[in-house]
Amino acid sequence: MAGLQKIGRNDPCWCKSGKKYKHCHLNREAEKPLPTAALLNLNRQQFIKKECLHPHAAQGVCNGIIDAHTVQRARTLQSLLDSDNHVHTFYPAERDAGGLLKVHRKGWRKASTFTGFCGTHDSQTFAPLEVDAFRFSAESTFLLSYRALCHELYQKQGAARSLRQLAPLLDRGLPPLEQEEIQRRNEIQIAGNQKAVGELVSQKHWADQALLSQTYSDWRFVCLEFEGPLCIATCGAPTPTKDIEGNQLQVLHDPNNQLQHLYLSVVSCPVGAAVVLGWRKEFVAPEKMVESLLRLQNDMLATFIVQYVFAHLENVCFSESWWSTLDLKQQHHIRQLAGIANPYYTQPPYSTESLVPWKLASLHRYGEA
């Protein structure tokens, strides 16, 4: 904001909002700050948008937008229910006095849903996942990855709206130097978010073609089936920066780098839990991440996957019956992993202690690794 004094009332504002200075930061320090609860509420509202992400979405084709489940309702969410038909989750994030995430209970109808598909396209696209128990095939693993990708894009577009909406509200009543600092941080976040949205849009474009043609040769899938109760379920799209051994895989803040996503789902399967991993065949980072997982001893594999999931993904549901088998130290560890602000820059403190009662039953691959 150097040279602030020189800005005229009708000049463009220094914060690059595109507004005139007199309609933007002039007198910002005198404006009344919004209470945190109001900001959080506004933030949440920006994440709700009703739109159908199906490639054939159009007026007259789509019917009403529904609360589309990101993990299967039948079997998967069902296996996580407590006696009161609720599942456990850490989100929306709320911290206790010690800074740890609190466990919430959520009704299964609302758990892990998003308004990203109309009823017609949701059931048409994901019917193979809902109707039968999950079995490994290129189609079933692709569909899980596709849903993870659509959900990630939906979330990042929500974040884009939120960042733009909140930018002029976060620095109300603060001195000019702090305004400058807040707007600078926001600008970096907006740039990072724009990059992520742009790249997810192109990954979605490729995925739409695969969906419509039912040709999956540009994709790689690994599916691990574990014997034992399904105790967590998720669908997410991390961008692995380090493998399990801590080797660097990609640098997220390098504007010249293409972001490489891994699509990760944990769902119910006939023997127990299936961990399904998908990625574009030209992406090296997710492939190396998966290879590092597969190098783990069988009994370590499940515990590392579960920790990776909690550290990197928000959209995770888990069962009361599993959570209550963990001792306080183990619960503390999981809450700590889930609460890491940015797991991509510091390697999460993985434990070698067994945290899930899973035994590897089979491993399937699709495509050459």
Could you list the residues that contact Zn ion (CB under 5 A)? 13, 15, 17, 24-25, 52, 54, 57, 62, 118, 121
Which residue in 252, 122, 147, 162 sits closest to 199, CA to CA?
A: 252
Q: Smallest distance, Å, CB 121 to Zn ion?
A: 3
Closer CB to Zn ion, 26 or 294, in the complex: 26
Closer CB to Zn ion, 171 or 199, in the complex: 171
Closer CB to Zn ion, 24 or 294, in the complex: 24
Q: Smallest distance, Å, CB 26 to Zn ion?
A: 8
Q: Smallest distance, Å, CB 237 to Zn ion?
A: 21
| Three-state secondary structure call for residue 153 | helix
| Three-state secondary structure call for residue 71 | coil
Residue with tokens 């493998």: 243
Half-sphere exposure of 302 (CA within 13 A, CB side): 23
Closer CB to Zn ion, 5 or 256, in the complex: 5
CA diameter of the chain: 70
Helix (H) or strand (E) holding 264: strand 263-269
Q: Smallest distance, Å, CB 16 to Zn ion?
A: 8
The distance from CA 289 to its chain's CA centroid, rounded to whole angstroms, is 17
Q: Smallest distance, Å, CB 181 to Zn ion?
A: 14
Paired residues of 317 in beta bridges? 233
Q: Smallest distance, Å, CB 18 to Zn ion?
A: 9
Closer CB to Zn ion, 188 or 284, in the complex: 188
**CB-based contact 355:323 (threshold 8 Å):** no
Q: Smallest distance, Å, CB 17 to Zn ion?
A: 5
Going across the sheet that includes 316-318, the strands are: 104-107, 86-89, 316-318, 232-236, 263-269, 272-280, 219-227, 359-366
End-to-end Cα, the chain, rounded Å: 51
Closer CB to Zn ion, 57 or 169, in the complex: 57
Closer CB to Zn ion, 150 or 290, in the complex: 150
Paired residues of 365 in beta bridges? 222
